[in-house]
Amino acid sequence: MYGPVLSLRLSDQWSLSGVFLYGKFKNTDDGDRGFDTCNRYDSDISLNYNLNRYLKIFAGGKFLGFSWEDSHTNGFHWSAGPGLGLGATLPVTSNMFLLANVSGIYARGKDTADNRDTINVTEKGLNSNISFAYYITSASTSINLGFRHQYLRSDYDTDDDIDEKHHFYGVTLSAVYSFGS
């Protein structure tokens, strides 16, 4: 997955951040509701509070969605809701850091396909990511390379038993430029 990140430091303890990630995936499950390809969209906005220089807590909102195509149908699935998490930044060397975050989400949304009615959906899940960040002092930029995994349980509001468990994962790479005082 890839996309832009924007963070605004409000004080030594508080910051506001947003991220938008996109990825294209092939389905590895041959189930009845399986798809051939999936375009994945994931957007977060969070208010962060630094407990100390190593740990932070954060809360905010999440939008997640995916569109799919297969030989039977095309569709779009989306949900939005609150999230809460914990993050750690651990120094490895003077310019390299290990970053880790884990968060839980609760979201509600809709699932639409061209061969059936729209279905309401409730989703609960976990996001986790781990990365190494190397800070280039002369460029005021950090390069982050890591891995992200998202687990979602989708509970559909139908009489049919079509509840699903999804795993989205992939390598992440970002360049973060810092400016200001």
State the Cα–Cα distance between residues 35 and 76, nearest whole angstrom. Answer: 11
Other C-beta atoms closer than 10 Å to the C-beta of 21 total 21
Residues 6+ apart with CB under 8 A from 108: 79, 80, 81, 120, 121, 122, 123
DSSP bridge pairs for 130:
100, 147
Where do the domains of the chain lie, and which CATH numbers do they carry?
Answer: 5-177 (2.40.128.100)
Q: What is the pLDDT along the chain (181 residues), one digit of tens a residue?
A: 777 888 899 999 999 999 998 888 777 665 555 567 889 898 999 999 999 999 999 999 999 998 988 777 788 999 999 999 999 999 999 999 999 999 999 999 999 988 778 999 999 999 999 999 999 999 999 999 999 898 999 999 887 767 788 888 888 888 888 887 5
Task: Please give the model's pTM, rounded to 2 decimal places.
Answer: 0.83
